[in-house]
């Protein structure tokens, strides 16, 4: 039963991570902002001065992968080498998401 749960957690974490990666557009941040004429520029309000957190889904996926990795590291069995392979895949998914966030420096 534990084997299935750990395997499911590993697979679900990887699927979610890659789903978030494939669903995000490759456009820069500035492409989604409406163009405002310079003549009618108004002073920024405090609410407008605080930007939203960049890519909360990717950060959530990173957290989920790190928690799944911790669960797998503390698993009681090796599961015929599949736990080790799942840990490697999780490490790679974490690395890819971190690289993804580094490329968002627009």
Residue range of the domain that includes 18: 1-25+55-106
Number of domains in the chain: 1
Q: Is residue 78 part of a domain?
A: yes
Q: Is residue 34 part of a domain?
A: no
pLDDT in tens, the chain (106 residues): 666 777 767 777 777 666 655 555 555 555 455 555 554 455 555 555 566 677 889 999 999 999 999 999 998 888 888 999 999 999 999 999 999 988 876 5
Closest alpha carbon to 16 in 93, 99, 98: 93
Q: Is residue 43 part of a domain?
A: no
Q: Is residue 99 part of a domain?
A: yes
Q: Is residue 47 part of a domain?
A: no
Q: Is residue 44 part of a domain?
A: no
The pTM (predicted TM-score) of the whole model is: 0.51
What distance lies between CA 31 and its chain's CA centroid?
21
């Amino acid at each position: 039963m534990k084997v299935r749960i750990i395997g499911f957690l590993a697979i679900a974490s990887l699927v979610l991570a890659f789903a978030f990666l494939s669903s995000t557009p490759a456009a820069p941040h500035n492409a989604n902002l409406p163009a405002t004429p310079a003549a009618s520029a108004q002073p920024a309000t405090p609410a407008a001065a605080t930007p939203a957190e960049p890519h909360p889904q990717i950060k959530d996926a990173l957290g989920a992968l790190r928690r799944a990795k911790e669960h797998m590291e503390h698993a009681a069995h090796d599961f015929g080498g599949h736990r080790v392979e799942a840990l490697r895949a999780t490490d790679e998914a974490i690395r890819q998401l971190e690289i993804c966030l580094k490329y968002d420096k627009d």
